[in-house]
Amino acid sequence: MSQTLLPLTLFYDGACPLCQAEILYLQRRNQQQLLQFIDVNSSAFDPERVGVSCQAALDQMVGQIEGQAPIHGVPVFAEAYRRANLPILAWIFSRKTLRPILNLAYRIFAKNRHAISGAIGSFALKLVQRINQSPR
């Protein structure tokens, strides 16, 4: 990585198994300690400090680069994947030409994440837990 990346805090829905799986995967990839994770349903989430309500954080992914304003939706994933050393995913999620499709797909997912998680979330969570237990 040619430029210095500032830490990014991800505010996620800890009640969503699919969201938990994504966070567990990113935690394992967090070799440079550039990602921090806060469940918006926990007492660690301070809406006043972040400047985003709990409901807004539940409506779409929210992240905050150290010292900057919160970012929302698809750009959060691009920044998270950069910090997790996942360059292909970071590249895909940062393409302006793909942004309309990614935004639409993410809006559909965010609205339906609990139903989607009910269908595949426990499988995804178990898979990531198994991957995380394997040697690096």
Q: Are 102 and 93 in contact (CB under 8 A)?
A: yes
Identify the bridge partners of residue 39 per DSSP, sorted by sequence position. 12
d(CA 60, CA 131): 27
Position 31 pLDDT exceeds 80: yes
Position 1 pLDDT exceeds 50: no
Q: Which of 121, 90, 97, 115 is nearest to 26 (CA)?
A: 90
Phi, psi (degrees; rounded to nearest 5) at 58: -80, -30
d(CA 78, CA 91): 7
pTM, full prediction:
0.85
Q: Which of 48, 78, 46 is nearest to 65 (CA)?
A: 78
pLDDT per position as a tens digit, 68-100: 999 999 999 999 999 999 999 999 999 999 999
pLDDT per position as a tens digit, 115-132: 888 877 777 778 877 877
The DSSP 8-state label assigned to residue 5 in this structure reads P
